[in-house]
Each structure stands twice: as C-alpha cells, then as structure tokens.
Structure 1
Amino acid sequence: MKTTLLSIAIILGSYFQSHAQSAEFQAAQIAANAYVSSHGLEYQPKRNVFTGHNDNVIHIFMFEDGNLLLAGYPTVATEKSKFQLHLFVQNTNASTFLLEYTGSYSPILNIQNGNSSPAPMPAAGAVPPPIVISQLDFAILGPFTNTLVFTLKERASPGDSYNTLVSTTIQISKTFYASIGSGIVYTSLKDPSNIRKIPLGATDSTLVADNTKGRSLLTLMATFYPWGRNNLMMPEWNLKDRFGIVVGTTIGSDTSSFKNLLLGAQYDFSIGGSFIAGLHYGQRQKIIGVDYKDFKFGESKFEGDLESKKYTQGDLGLFFGVAIDSRIFSQIFK
C-alpha cells in the first residue's frame, strides 16, 4: 500500500511540475532538442552535458530567464574543453543580452560577447502572436585552465544598465601526461637465492634454495598517458581514458646495483588504481648446467662444485600485478 501511494505521489509530482512550466519554456525546450538532433550532439550522462562529436565543445542551452533547458552546467571540464551558449528567447523579447567568460589560458583572458536585440514588442492592444522562439548562439570560447566564470547579463533597453541573470563557476581539471606510482607484481623470472648443495640419498647431491618459484616484487613505476589524464574527471570505460604505458624498476635498485627493468601497459580499474602487465628484464643468479624450467630443487641431481658454476645473467620474463598512484600510496603511510 505504501509503495502504491509513493508511486502515485511521484506521478502527480511529475505531472504538476511539467504543467508548472510555462508554454514559452516548453516551446524553448522543443527548439533546443531540435538543435541537438540536427547537429548530432551527444549527451554524456556522467557529466550531464551535451557535447559535439569529437570537438570538445560543451553546449549549454538556456531560456531567456536564465533557467537551463536541457542539462546542467558541467561540474568539471577539461583543459581541452570549449563552451558555447545557446540562448532561446521569445521573439517578443526586446532585451539585449551580454555573455561574459572570464578565465585564463596562460595569458589572462577576459572576453565579452553580445548580441543584437530580437524583434520589438507588439503595439499595445494588439492580439498576442503565437509563441515564436528565437535562438541566439554566442561564440565558441575557450579552452581555459583552472576555473571559468560564466555570466549572462540582460539589458531591457539601451539606456539601462546590465543586470546579471545567472553566474556560475566551472572547475577546469588539469591535464597531465605522466605520473609516478608503486606496484606489487608477480614475475615469471625465477631468481633462486641462498643456493646450497646438500646430499641426495647415499651417493648423490642436489640443490636447495629460497625463492625457487616465481616471485613477487615491490616496484616503482612511471606511467605515461598518450592521450592525457584529468585529475578531477571520472574516467570513461574506453581505452583512451584508462590506458597507460609503464616503465619501472624494483624499489631499492640504483645505478650501481641495477637488476630489474619492467616495461608494459596499464589499465585503470579505478581512480588511482590499475592493472599492469608486461615484460620483465632482470639480472639473476644462474648455475652452469641447471635449467630452472626443468630442475627441481631438493629432488634433481647436481654434480660438481656449486661455487665454480655460479654466474649472473640477464633474462626476460613476464610480469603482472597492480599499481597505485603515488598520491594515494603516500596517504597509506601517513
């Protein structure tokens, strides 16, 4: 019963809300939707904005009273974003509108952009004409960095001063192309340590060692983003937004004792966290006549002097694991 009453309340609320909108506002919404369809604009639900196809232009649709028609302001934009306001007014509206964008992109950028007045008001006593919506398209402006202050002003007549209809501030997400992080990976490159020779039965010998299987490594990784990243934006699921190239080494390596190099790719599963995989080149302890793929420590026979057969060689293996962006990793150990 409660569920039924709640459903009825929601339906009635939607009904009264839709009927509370003026006929002029609804006509403007129809005109705005027609523009979206005719220009092939794409709606992005996560950001609640309309954008052009691969042109980074965010389209803002507004009624003459300052209310938004189709979607909201972008909560966050990128340094590649540009902006265009489409203002829908009745053709009986004689006001002049002024759009101000205040932002920066290296040099300070302060731009004013105005429009000509629509058709004049009808004479007193005349029969009101049908609702006709005019569309005023302001210039495409941007890109910007840091923040953008978006202000629309209206002047009723040439002798009046401009009054602010609406003003909002949009955060611009910084774009970066590299980051540093830490990772935990598993590598197929075996590197037995503390190798010792022990008896096997009455007459034979074998070898025992630590880390005879694949091993885990704590790594320091540099990640390069071919298409850039935005630190305030939720990534989309496409490859461009989540892909990176990683180069790293094990923590503790330096130029005098360099042992490991990792090169591969990453795919973000969340902000600051990613799966990584690729090739591992590393220096490792080897023994003449012992193939780590076939030799079973503690079981296979070994003949000869162990120390004289030890040597170090670089080999290739595969690694996979997870990486955490340094900004998150540093918070763990605060």
Structure 2
Amino acid sequence: MKTKLLFALLIAFSFKSFSQTFNYDNYRDFVLAKYESDFKKHYNKKSNLLVKNGIIHIFIDDKGNPIETGIPTTATEKNTYKIHLITDTQTESTEIFEFSVQGEYKPTLNIQNETDVEPLGFDGGEPSLKEYVYATVGPFTTEFTFTIKRKKRDDPSNETVIITRTINVAKTYHVSISTGLFMTTLQNPSNIKESTNSNGETTLIADDVNTRGIVALNAVFYPKGRSFLFPPSGGIFSPERFGILVGTQIDKDQFENFIGGIQFDFARGGSVAFGAHYGRRNTISGYDKFDFGNEKFEGNIDTDIVKEWNVGFFIGANLDLRIFGQLFKATE
C-alpha cells in the first residue's frame, strides 16, 4: 500500500514538474502573440530581424537563446536596440537578470527609459511566462557588445553569463565617389570633314552629331547618409536613396564638360542619375543647327568650326567606386 502511494506521489510530482517546464515553442508563441502586429508589419524574413522605427528588437529566453528573430552581426549608425528577455515567474522569483552594454556612442548615447519589468508574480502556483523589456540603447559607432547575466537572488555573486554578443556598426557616409556611363543630348560633333550629299552639294559629316555617350567621374552627396554595407532601405521614395551628383567627363576635355543632377540608388553601390550637362561643344558658324550629311555647306571648314558653351540633358547608370573596390578585392 505504501509503495503504491509513493508511486502515485512520484507520478503527480513528475507531472507537475513537467507542466511547469517551458520549451522554445512556448516562448515563441508568447512573443508572437504579444507582438503579432509588429511581426506582420516590420519583420523581414530575409534578414530575420524585426526593425520598427529604426529600433532592432532582439528577443532572448532565460538561457540566452534567440527567440524567432536573429541577432544582427552588423548594423548601421542609425539603429538603436531593444532587448526583450522572456522568462517565467518561477525562475524570476529566485533569479535576477542583469543587462549591460558597452560601446561608443555618436553623437551621444540615447537611452529611452521604457523598461517594462513587472513585479514578482510567482506565488507558488503554476508559473507563467513574463517579459523584461530593457531600455532602448544606441545609436553606436564602430561596434558594441551587450551582455545578460543571470544571478541568484539570495547570492548575487553567483552569476552566469547567459549571452554576450558583439554587433559591428557599419560607418555612415555622406559623400561617395563614383563613375558613370551617361547618355547626353548635348551634341558635340567631332572629326568634322567635308563630303558630298545626295544632291551633289558640299556638306559636312562628323561623329557624335546626335545624342552621345560619356564616361564621368562623380562626387555624390547623401543628405541622409548611406551605409554601403547594406542596400538602400525604405520604399522607392525613401530619402536615403537620393543623392546630389556633380561630375566631369573622363577624357581630354574634362574641363569642358560638367554634369549636375540627382542620383537614385536602386541597389548597394548601383544607381541611376539624371540632370543637366553643361559643356563646350563644336558648332558651325552661321548655322543655327547644322544638319550633318544633308545640309549644304558654303563656309570655310578651317574657320567656321567654333566652340560654344551650352546645356543639355543627361541620364545613365552610376557605380560607387567603394563597392567596385570591394568586388575587385573579392576576386583576388
């Protein structure tokens, strides 16, 4: 009889202990239920991150394991961070979780004191899951390290580091150097020669009598800043994607061809640009717009080819030289 009673007590105790044990699925369900709306709107499957209003949310269980989202290895100077620690009331009644962070801050460390730490809730009954939401920290430069320690309430010196991670912070640039291949409407006839048209009249023929292509070296200013380790973020009209471009043609006439306009980044290091092309070009004196190959020429080719400054329109593709350098190094 005593043996049966002891066996029954062991079963009951084992069942109760098992019912008080939480696994990864329990933690995950807790997080997804509480932050359902945020995961639908702000979770990126490709990066495995939940980023809301520039804040990277990191969910950790009381053993240091990430929950549902990952922990970034690299972030930007614009990001701030919020750590969510999920534990249960039984564990929380006997242990303390301490969060600390080390890093460089620019311009200043911004800590939003929004810590949501509920009072002790375990009363000896069934434990339940609860959440510590630590203060938002950042932004950082270079790198930063966050650590969570687990300590006994009755012996704080008895501590265990459950997680420590270092996140590298990519530098934000406001100026980049790029090279571009552009189409311009600013005609600049070259290699001009006399010829005969279909009517037997003297005319002129030349290269580049219509639109032409130019290769340019450009400087781009990003008012909002860019990190070239990441593709541009935001929608198609995100300010981060736009820069102000100025440049000059790469050839012997670099001081006779200048461009200025707007650049739109569609990928990391890749962009399209458009704007005005101001340059010095060959014109035929006495003609408003000479029709090469057709119009009759009655002047002197040695004296009637003159240089004039004018404005045209350009559009084309641009490649950031910083990205080009990284691609070149990767092939070595």
- Structure 1 and Structure 2 fold alike (TM over 0.5): yes
Counterparts of 1:246-285 in structure 2 under 5 Å?
246-252=245-251, 258-285=255-282
The letter of the residue matching 2:96 is T
Counterpart in the other structure of 1:226:
223
Tell me, yes or no, if structure 1 residue 321 matches structure 2 residue 316: yes
Q: Which 10-residue stretch deviates more, 301-310 or 148-157? A: 301-310
The letter of the residue matching 2:47 is R
* CA distance, structure 2, for counterparts of residue 312 and residue 195 of structure 1: 13
RMSD value, Cα: 3.3
Secondary structure of the structure 1 residue equivalent to 2:138? coil
Counterparts of 1:4-43 in structure 2 under 5 Å?
23=22, 25-37=24-36, 42-43=42-43
User: Number of aligned pairs?
Assistant: 301
Instruction: Give me the TM-score of the superposition, normalised by structure 2.
Output: 0.78
* CA distance, structure 2, for counterparts of residue 38 and residue 322 of structure 1: 39
Among 305, 309, 315, the residue aligned to 2:304: 309
Counterpart in the other structure of 2:48:
48
Counterpart in the other structure of 2:100:
100
Deviations 1:141-184 (A, max 9, x none): 11111111121100023423321001111121111111001111
Counterpart in the other structure of 1:175:
172
Deviations 1:261-289 (A, max 9, x none): 11222233432222222221111111123
Counterpart in the other structure of 2:18:
none
Counterparts of 1:124-143 in structure 2 under 5 Å?
129-143=125-139
Kindly indicate whether the alpha-carbon contact (under 8 Å) linking 1:92 and 1:119 is maintained by their aligned counterparts in 2: no
Q: Which runs of 5+ in 1 are unaligned?
A: 1-21, 123-127
Kindly indicate whether the alpha-carbon contact (under 8 Å) linking 1:264 and 1:279 is maintained by their aligned counterparts in 2: yes
Secondary structure of the structure 1 residue equivalent to 2:34? helix
Identity of aligned residues (%): 35
The letter of the residue matching 1:70 is E
Counterpart in the other structure of 1:5:
none
The letter of the residue matching 1:137 is V
Among 188, 194, 202, the residue aligned to 1:197: 194
Q: Which runs of 5+ in 2 are unaligned?
A: 1-20
The letter of the residue matching 1:63 is D
How far does residue 104 in structure 1 lie from its aligned partner after superposition?
A: 0.7
* CA distance, structure 2, for counterparts of residue 161 and residue 318 of structure 1: 71
Deviations 1:195-239 (A, max 9, x none): 233455897421122332322211101112232211222334623
Counterparts of 1:40-189 in structure 2 under 5 Å?
42-52=42-52, 54=53, 56-93=54-91, 94-105=94-105, 119=120, 129-159=125-155, 160-189=157-186
Instruction: Give me the TM-score of the superposition, normalised by structure 1.
Output: 0.78
Secondary structure of the structure 1 residue equivalent to 2:90? coil
